[in-house]
């Protein structure tokens, strides 16, 4: 009925955070989290191939029910945003090849779901994750911790979305 395991992804060309988070009896549990770094000396195509391969490998290894990804928010740095957009495309393709649905969440949605406020700092989100998951479950790497937060957001949102769908039927 609800997604049991989700692969959370914090997209990026240079650094990609990923985390497999499972819905537990009492609270979510981090099954795995990692950060992929792609060498800046590689061509964009080679870096995107590594992003795609890493996501496909994570999907194969952890068998998630869905993929959750942070939605790109365009700011002043359009070059950086373009790299994140390209990486997001590789992630979408990897999920589609595996037959998985991808849900995208704005940073504000993730912060609201995890910390209860949309303008939460990274440290506030980290503290909230520690309360939700337990101290040892939160990765030290910032991009992996962001991926965990995205996955936790999805687990909360997917439950609400499915309950709303059932109420309409």
**pLDDT of 134-153, one tens digit each?**
878 899 999 999 999 999 99
| Buried/exposed code over 116-129 (b: 16+ C-beta within 10 A; e: otherwise) | eeeebeeeebbebb
Q: Residue 1: what pLDDT? A: 47
Higher pLDDT, 163 or 79: 79
* Tokens representing residue 161 in the block: 């979305």
Q: Residue 31: what pLDDT? A: 95
Whether the full predicted model's pTM is greater than 0.85, yes or no, is: yes
Residues 102/92, Cβ–Cβ less than 8 Å? yes
Q: Which of 10, 104, 109, 146 is catalytic?
A: 10
Q: Which of 83, 109, 143, 146 is catalytic?
A: 143
Beta-carbon contacts of 84 under 8 Å, excluding residues fewer than 6 positions away, are 11, 12, 13, 72
Q: Residue 10: what pLDDT? A: 97
Q: Mind listing the pLDDT tens digit for each residue in 74-133? A: 666 677 788 999 999 999 999 999 999 999 999 999 999 999 989 999 899 999 999 999
Q: Residue 41: what pLDDT? A: 95
Instruction: Round to whole Å and give the CA distance between 123 and 145.
Output: 11
Model confidence at 159, in pLDDT bands (50, 70, 90)? low
Q: Which of 70, 83, 104, 146 is catalytic?
A: 70
Residue 70 known to be catalytic: yes
Q: Mind listing the pLDDT tens digit for each residue in 29-79? A: 999 999 999 999 999 999 999 999 999 999 999 999 999 999 987 666 677
Q: Residue 3: what pLDDT? A: 76
Residue 5, pLDDT above cutoff 70:
yes
Closest CA to 75 of 85, 87, 86: 85
């Amino acid at each position: 009925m609800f997604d049991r395991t989700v692969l959370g992804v914090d997209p990026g060309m240079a650094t990609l955070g990923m985390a497999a988070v499972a819905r537990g009896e009492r609270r979510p549990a981090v099954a795995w989290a990692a950060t992929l770094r792609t060498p800046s000396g590689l061509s964009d195509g080679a870096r995107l191939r590594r992003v795609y391969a890493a996501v496909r490998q994570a999907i194969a290894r952890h068998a998630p029910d869905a993929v959750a990804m942070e939605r790109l928010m365009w700011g002043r740095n359009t070059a950086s945003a373009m790299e994140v957009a390209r990486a997001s495309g590789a992630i979408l393709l990897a999920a589609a090849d595996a037959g998985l649905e991808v849900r995208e969440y704005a940073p504000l949605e993730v912060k609201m779901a995890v910390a209860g406020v949309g303008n939460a700092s990274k440290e506030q989100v980290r503290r909230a994750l520690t309360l939700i998951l337990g101290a040892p479950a939160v990765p030290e790497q910032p991009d992996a911790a962001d991926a965990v937060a995205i996955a936790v957001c999805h687990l909360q949102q997917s439950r609400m979305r499915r309950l709303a769908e059932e109420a309409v039927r």
